[in-house]
């Protein structure tokens, strides 16, 4: 029997696993950079065998962004001033390719997220899901009842305001009449 309880052991195992994954990610980043391959969050995650979201966490993201900056070609000025159109076309094509790559990476990340959410749903038992649905249904009913009550209160207050406005208008008319009569009397 574990004297500290099962939770402590699980926390330690999770911490070791997390450190191992982070180290594998940094090692994969170094390997990709040394091989001269394009550095993306997805490429690093695949090489390290970890999920893509880990590459966006603090401490890893900065290393990847720095490696991407190091991979960026240094801007050079064209030797011939007559070739700006060709340079612009090349830059445009590179930008288009980068947009395509980013769209592909975004789609891969969406698929990974869908997969991860599916795994989480599969991990939940039917009992937990039923309890959660029941809780949400009760909470929804409570909110609907509160909304219905608030709507009824609003209508009642609106009717009261209308009645008070009518009374106020009548009182003002009566007051004006009294002031006129008082002013006419010598």
Sign of CA dihedral 164, 167, 171, 172: positive
Residue predicted with more confidence, 2 or 48 = 48
Structure tokens at 109: 């990340």
Identify the H or E element spanning 141.
helix 126-184
pLDDT more than 90, % of the chain: 56
Q: Considering only 9-13, 16-20, 153-157, which range has the smallest mean pLDDT? A: 9-13
For the CA atoms of 50, 51, 52, 53, the dihedral, rounded to the nearest 10 degrees, stands at -120
Looking at residue 126, what is its pLDDT? Answer: 73
**Residue 80 pLDDT grade (very low, low, confident, very high; cuts 50, 70, 90):** low
């Amino acid at each position: 029997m574990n004297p500290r309880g099962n939770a402590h052991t699980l926390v330690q195992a999770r911490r070791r696993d997390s450190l191992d994954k982070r180290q594998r990610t940094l090692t994969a980043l170094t390997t990709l950079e040394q091989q001269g391959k394009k550095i993306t969050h997805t490429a690093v995650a695949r090489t390290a065998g970890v999920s893509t979201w880990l590459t966006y966490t603090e401490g890893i993201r900065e290393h990847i962004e720095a490696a991407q900056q190091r991979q960026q070609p240094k801007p050079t000025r064209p030797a011939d001033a007559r070739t700006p159109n060709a340079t612009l076309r090349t830059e445009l094509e590179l930008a288009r390719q980068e947009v395509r790559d980013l769209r592909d990476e975004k789609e891969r990340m969406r698929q990974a997220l869908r997969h991860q959410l599916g795994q989480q749903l599969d991990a939940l038992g039917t009992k937990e899901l039923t309890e959660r649905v029941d809780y949400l249904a009760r909470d929804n009913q409570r909110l609907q009842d509160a909304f219905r009550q608030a709507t009824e209160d609003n209508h009642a207050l609106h009717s009261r305001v209308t009645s008070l406005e009518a009374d106020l208008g009548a009182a003002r008319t009566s007051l004006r009449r009294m002031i006129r009569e008082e002013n006419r009397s010598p």
